[in-house]
Structure 1
Amino acid sequence: MLVRGVLQKRSCWRSGNAYFFCRRLPSSTVEPTRMIDPAAVAHFSSAALTPIKSTFNCSYKLYDHKVHYFSTSAAAALEPVDNIIDIPLAQTGEGIAECELLKWFVKEGDEVEEYQRLCEVQSDKATIEITSRYQGKVVQFLHVPGDIVKVGETLLSISVDDSQVAPDVGELSSPTSQPIEPSKESSELTKSQEGESLSTPAVRNLAKQHGIDLNDVPGTGKHGRVQKEDVLSYAANLKTKPATVDPSSVKPTFDEPEQVPQPVAYESLHQDKTLPIRGYQRAMVKSMTAAATIPHFHYIEEINCDKLAKLKDAFQKQNSDPSIKFTFMPVLIKSLSMALTAHPLLNSNFNLEKYEVNLKGSHNIGIAMATPVGLVVPNIKNVQSLSILEITKELARLQKLAKENKLNPEDIRGGTITLSNIGAIGGKSGSPLINVPEVAIIALGRTQKVACFSDDGTVYPVSLMTANIAADHRILDGATVARFCNEWKKLIEKPELILLHTR
């Protein structure tokens, strides 16, 4: 028997109607062996990702490496069949250990090209599209949308030709190389024992939680494979199926009067639900848990926005680009950057282990955005070097991507201070929590007309906005935050000063 393949990749060979799948072993461990009696086997596959239903299963052990066969004839010469390559979930960013599978762009059996989109996954930092490194045919999915996939786990398997599988010469020629044992999870995924339904470990675990025998569940997947949806549908049918009563267990009554039927207790329409915490919501859980360890203090100020409103209206009247809409936010962001230049301690990170404060040279100002999948804080990079128009365009880009759940990891990474415009939704003020590892966050309330008094007692209307600054009291004190806020307030109430300081 000739063993053919590549380490870490499955290979399939055919001899007439006989097939076997294996991984390449070191040349020093390969020796001829005899084929299993064809008459004893009808169909078989447990090493292939798409198993073939069998009436008999057998295994042959070659140097502690299990190789499986199915055969009806062994007369023909060996013919190569395409290699099966597992596509794992790669590391999508620093510190990311798992992602949620959102959707597939391909189906089982589809032909895919190199760099074609395969699926979309979401970590707690961003949404990422996974592309194919190979040209081939999709053999099998190992996960369905909604699954949490750990980094390194196999997403799907692709069948490719030999030209795309380069053998590792060093490993093949090394006399000390040892055969690679298939992992427990991999063997479980492809196991097809007699009388056992085809399914993944996740599906079997789900069935166990519901107390369901998988052999009773009709599979709708390829080759009768039981999928997650099949188990959930079967469990739902069990709950709604009326219970049968054994007539022998009912004792007749003779002396008792006729029983009056009791009213049926209908099941409440308001059911308890369990919602998984995924994606951006997980990031918020982690960040807010870390924020609970920080001693916060809050500084609140009211800012006159009359001149800012006139400046915004002037910008909009001169706007010739219909895709751009001017708001208060770009001017607030630019003025904030100028105030940070004068008070850099608010644009820093704190390292508790080393008792060090890292002053950040770039003003990467994060903007908290509410999206259909949770709160996310992308940031505008290097605001100190951008014009108000450039900030307006970048803010519009981030808002569009956040709404479509298409933000890149780079858009979220590296923020130095955060603005939360709660007033855009409603509310006069809010008490924000710091977005770790930053040391300050600002919540802006809605702008509203209020009555103010001049020195001579005259009443006049003013557009006031409430700003609530939360600061890390380990690094910042009240006087530092007050001086910073005074500087920022001056630039907002007199926006013409921004022009004087713009480089």
Structure 2
Amino acid sequence: MAIKEFKLPDVGEGVAEGELVTWLVEPGDRVEEDQPVAEVETDKALVEVPSRYDGVVEELFAEEGEIVPVGNVIISFRVDEDDEAPESAADTDDGPAEPSEAEVDDTDVADDTDAADDADAVAPGGRTFAPPSVRRLARELGVDLAAVDGSGPGGRVGESDVRAYADEETDSADDEADDAPTPKPIDIGSEDRGSAVTKRGGGDDSDAAAGGASAGATATEPAGRDRTLAAPATRKLAREFGVEVDDVPTDRTREGEPFVDEAAVRAYAEADASSAPPTDVTGAAEATDAAEAACTAGATAADPEGTVIDRIPYRGVRRTIGKRMEQSKFTAPHVTHHDTAEVDALVDARAELKPKAEAAGVKLTYMPFVMKAVVAGLKAYPQLNSELREEDEEILIKGEYNLGIAVATDAGLMVPVVRDVDTKGLFELADEVNDLAARAREREITPAEMKGGTFTLTNFGAIGGEYATPIINYPETAILGLGAIEERPVVRSHADVDGGFLDEADGSTVVPAPTLPLSLSIDHRVVDGAEAAAFANTVQDHLENPLLLLTE
């Protein structure tokens, strides 16, 4: 057998990194070639990463939630020599890989399941097997995984094993603390806390001994460290005492790092409090007044995160949306043109076609009608179907009509593209839009299906909006926002309607009618205001007179 490492491949065009969202396997699982082993979220989509080997999962090198650069090793497999897949560019930087140092002799490895289970517990070199989440928990609790007895198959270490071991260590540390001599104050005279820290951690022998005694142990690790391992409960206690964990002396280590427990924090805090210089009454009163004033004003300087109820990682699709919105808003000078279309005839046309669409298995919304109307506007005013190439100092007028449809998903806004809208009928467009939107919400859309757009539509009216100032999907030069189709007051000629509020002066009447609010944002470097208004008028004409759509 041999150990084969697998690197994160380029799961999308030009993707440099991805967030490992979910592991679909764990060490000891047998996998087949092309079987998905992980879900990775890039700045464009959520994709599954398939195995290149038939074999057994040896080790996972990344944790769920970790950002992994393309080309980094994420998983390794135990592979039979006869089953090895040929090396490819995804697995090596400079051609065929050298034989792995991790290759092992399979002469003593049985082919039955029991032998495979026994091999799951420890990797070559005696390293303990545990999922990434368990390794992360061990680091947080300051537990050495090599010392933990696993209760899983083949001795695999689980979270319960790590927590049980940490509890035993804590109980043992508490017993030691109970038997330790009572901490004595350190006489540091008028020196400030900074000096006390220096003496505790790195002064002469007598000072170091005094500092160690105050903490209940001789500190061999200097105070003011860059990194200290401690359990979450210990860190919470340190915050309550106003103590920096990195300043607490300790001679204990975990995985080669200094380790501090609650007993050491308490001893350090008590010694520090007893050595603090007395405060005069006036100063105490002023400090009390200042503290009360801060509380009255709602200050949270002592606990700046006291009101935080959740932490959401800013990465993946959300980070990409943010970067693109920032790029668009601060690159293209936005101007938004608002207008309203009176869509009585459009509502009637959709109602008449809806049964035929249902018979064809298609859900007919208003979006296909709007898409056709937009194409009519783009043909009349092609400047809105363009891209500004600043480096080349030219404006590219596009000859195809590929419309992006913004879709709200749990991960943020995604914009799948419907291509060649000018060549497709209403039912065909409706079916394609519904399919793309459904797959976008399920995170099954591919990066290729979100590229190549020339103009974008966003339907905020679906959740009750009316007008907005949509941000252009850069490098496009325009985006059209659609409000909710609702009955609103409109002015009509009295001869055209029955009822309503008659204006005797001009014979007009105010009546309720279905209207569609439009919000058109343009890149003012490319599109002038008059051109934007003319485009909006063309779109309105085709929405108010749906028979015109038959010409598109």
* TM-score normalised to structure 1 length: 0.67
Read off the aligned partner of 1:280 and give its amino acid letter: V
SS at match of 2:400: coil
Percent identical among aligned pairs is 32
Q: Name stretches of at least 5 consecutive residues in structure 2 with no aligned partner.
A: 88-95, 102-121, 167-229, 241-261, 275-302, 494-506
Pairs within 5 Å for 1:305-384: 305-321=343-359, 324-384=362-422
| Distance of 1:489 and 1:360 partners within structure 2 | 22
How far 1:319 moved relative to its partner? 3.3
Q: Name stretches of at least 5 consecutive residues in structure 1 with no aligned partner.
A: 1-81, 169-176, 183-189, 252-266
Distance 1:463-1:215 versus aligned 2 partners, 3 A rule: same
How far 1:347 moved relative to its partner? 1.2
| Distance of 2:355 and 2:392 partners within structure 1 | 52
Task: Render the CA deviation track for 1:6-53: whole Å, top value 9, x for unaligned.
Answer: xxxxxxxxxxxxxxxxxxxxxxxxxxxxxxxxxxxxxxxxxxxxxxxx
Distance 1:420-1:235 versus aligned 2 partners, 3 A rule: farther
Task: Render the CA deviation track for 1:390-439: whole Å, top value 9, x for unaligned.
Answer: 11011111121122111111111111111111111122110011111111
How far 1:93 moved relative to its partner? 1.9
Distance 1:202-1:472 versus aligned 2 partners, 3 A rule: farther
Q: Is the 8 A contact 2:373 2:542 kept in 1?
A: yes
SS at match of 2:357: coil
Q: What is the match of residue 312 of structure 2?
A: 275
In the alignment, is residue 115 of structure 1 matched against residue 34 of structure 2? yes
In the alignment, is residue 137 of structure 1 matched against residue 56 of structure 2? yes
Q: What is the match of residue 11 of structure 2?
A: 92
Distance 1:135-1:198 versus aligned 2 partners, 3 A rule: closer
Task: Render the CA deviation track for 1:453-487: whole Å, top value 9, x for unaligned.
Answer: 23412222221221111111111111221221111
Q: Is the 8 A contact 1:126 1:412 kept in 2?
A: no
* Alignment match of 1:472 (pick from 506, 523, 526): 523
Read off the aligned partner of 2:10 and give its amino acid letter: Q
* Alignment match of 2:436 (pick from 398, 412, 415): 398
* Alignment match of 1:462 (pick from 506, 513, 516): 513
Read off the aligned partner of 2:440 and give its amino acid letter: A
Task: Render the CA deviation track for 1:363-416: whole Å, top value 9, x for unaligned.
Answer: 111111111111111111111111111110111111211221111111111111
| Distance of 1:283 and 1:166 partners within structure 2 | 35
Q: What is the match of residue 74 of structure 2?
A: 155
Distance 1:479-1:158 versus aligned 2 partners, 3 A rule: same
Read off the aligned partner of 2:344 and give its amino acid letter: D
Distance 1:203-1:98 versus aligned 2 partners, 3 A rule: farther
| Distance of 1:460 and 1:137 partners within structure 2 | 72
| Distance of 1:345 and 1:230 partners within structure 2 | 63
Task: Render the CA deviation track for 1:151-193: whole Å, top value 9, x for unaligned.
Answer: 111121112222244789xxxxxxxx998998xxxxxxx9999
SS at match of 1:319: helix
SS at match of 2:532: helix
Distance 1:223-1:293 versus aligned 2 partners, 3 A rule: farther
Give the structure with the higher percent helix: 2
SS at match of 1:327: coil
Count of residue pairs brought into register by the alignment? 386
In the alignment, is residue 498 of structure 1 matched against residue 549 of structure 2? yes
Q: Is the 8 A contact 2:480 2:518 kept in 1?
A: yes
Q: Is the 8 A contact 1:197 1:215 kept in 2?
A: no
| Distance of 1:272 and 1:443 partners within structure 2 | 33
| Distance of 2:376 and 2:307 partners within structure 1 | 53
Read off the aligned partner of 2:13 and give its amino acid letter: E
Pairs within 5 Å for 1:245-284: 270-284=307-321
How far 1:331 moved relative to its partner? 0.9
SS at match of 1:443: strand
Read off the aligned partner of 2:545 and give its amino acid letter: K
Distance 1:479-1:207 versus aligned 2 partners, 3 A rule: farther
How far 1:328 moved relative to its partner? 0.8
SS at match of 2:519: strand
Read off the aligned partner of 2:17 and give its amino acid letter: E
Distance 1:384-1:206 versus aligned 2 partners, 3 A rule: farther
Pairs within 5 Å for 1:424-443: 424-443=462-481
In the alignment, is residue 287 of structure 1 matched against residue 324 of structure 2? yes
Pairs within 5 Å for 1:49-60: none
Q: Is the 8 A contact 2:472 2:478 kept in 1?
A: yes
Pairs within 5 Å for 1:118-267: 118-165=37-84, 213-215=142-144, 235-238=231-234
Q: What is the match of residue 540 of structure 2?
A: 489
Distance 1:166-1:322 versus aligned 2 partners, 3 A rule: closer
